[in-house]
Structure 1
Amino acid sequence: MKAGCALPQVTFHTRVRDDSIEGSNPFRWEDKTTQDYFAGKRVVLFALPGAFTPTCSTFQLPGFDDGFGDFAAVGIDDIYCLSVNDSFVMNKWAEMQGIKNVKTIPDGAGEFTRRMGMLVRKDNLGFGLRSWRYAAVVNDGLIEAWFEEPGLADNHGDDPYGVSSPENVLSWLQEATREQAA
């Protein structure tokens, strides 16, 4: 996937809170499509190898969440975090991280990630199939800018991080905003 490409059309199986459900697990299934998330909005999408993993939990997710105001100031409507994890895992991770601004997208079966060309094997870490780390600025379902970590490969020995960092994506957005204003 590169700038100018349309996002793949898939259905994501999510769990959403429903206060009409009694008990300790007041959630129901709700299918959401690519259109539901991306139509008519300019967003940042970032994908990572897994919820609860060190780089994702320490830097990437909190960095995007804490910087939401800066992203909104340059025309971003929403920020989405996607991982090849199910909705139960993504919801619990967001809750435990205290996330207030980033919305998580569960790609439990990896279908969106596969169609993006970013599905990799992480068997060397015991993970199985996961997403390669990347970020994108997406405008109404079209990729405006692409930030892929180097070395895309199955069972990569490292976990590259920097190209898709919130700081790098925000810097690109700020520069693009300055260029549009000039």
Structure 2
Amino acid sequence: MKAGQTLPNITFRTRVRDEAVGGPNPFRWQDMTTDDYFKGKRVVLFSLPGAFTPTCSTYQLPGFEENFATFQELGIDEIYCMSVNDSFVMNQWAKAQGIQNVKVIPDGSGEFTRRMGMLVAKDNLGFGMRSWRYAAIVNDGVIEAWFEEPGLCDNHGEDPYGESSPENLLKYLKEAKATAAA
């Protein structure tokens, strides 16, 4: 996927809190589509190898959360974190991280990630199929800017991080704003 391309149309199986369900686990299934997340909005989408993993939990997700207000000032409506994990895992990870602003999207089957061309084997880590780390600025479902970590391949021996960092996306947005104002 590159700038100018439209995101694949996918239905995501999510779990949402619904007090009407009652009991100790008041959640229900809710299908969400690509349009539900991206239509009519300018958003940051970042995808990572797995919830609860070191780089994702220490730097990437907290960095986007901490900079949410700055992203909004630069014209971003929402920030979405995606991983090839199910909704149960993504919701618990967001809870454990104390996330209030970034919204998590579960790509449990990896279908969105596969159609983005970013599904890789991580068998060397015992993960199976997962997302390569990337980020994008998405405007109304169309990729405006693309940030992919180098070395895309199956069973990569490292976990590159930098291109898809919140700092790098903020740099892009600030430069784009300055250019537009000039």
Which bracket does the TM-score occupy, shorter chain normalised? over 0.9
Q: Secondary structure at the match of 1:158?
A: coil
Partner of 1:61: 61
Identity %: 74
| Residues in 2 aligned to 1:121 and 1:25: alpha-carbon distance in whole angstroms | 33
| Residues in 2 aligned to 1:126 and 1:97: alpha-carbon distance in whole angstroms | 23
| Residues in 1 aligned to 2:7 and 2:22: alpha-carbon distance in whole angstroms | 37
Query: Aligned-pair distance for 1:176?
Result: 0.2
Query: Aligned-pair distance for 1:22?
Result: 1.2
Partner of 1:25: 25
Query: Aligned-pair distance for 1:174?
Result: 0.6
Q: Secondary structure at the match of 1:61?
A: helix
| Residues in 1 aligned to 2:53 and 2:32: alpha-carbon distance in whole angstroms | 25
Write out per-residue CA displacement over residues 97-132 of structure 1, whole angstroms, 9 at most, x where no aligned residue.
000110000000000000000000000000000000
Q: Secondary structure at the match of 1:137?
A: strand
- TM-score normalized by the length of structure 2: 1.00
Q: Secondary structure at the match of 1:175?
A: helix
CA RMSD of aligned residues (A): 0.3
1:114-153 matched pairs, under 5 angstroms: 114-153=114-153
| Residues in 2 aligned to 1:100 and 1:23: alpha-carbon distance in whole angstroms | 23
- Amino acid of the residue matched to residue 148 of structure 2? E
- Amino acid of the residue matched to residue 158 of structure 1? E
Q: How many residues align?
A: 182
| Residues in 2 aligned to 1:24 and 1:67: alpha-carbon distance in whole angstroms | 33
Return 5+ residue gaps in structure 1 as ranges: none
Partner of 2:2: 2
| Residues in 1 aligned to 2:112 and 2:106: alpha-carbon distance in whole angstroms | 10
| Residues in 2 aligned to 1:170 and 1:135: alpha-carbon distance in whole angstroms | 12
List structure 1 segments (4+ residues) > 6 angstroms apart after TM superposition. none
- Amino acid of the residue matched to residue 24 of structure 1? P
Query: Aligned-pair distance for 1:21?
Result: 1.1
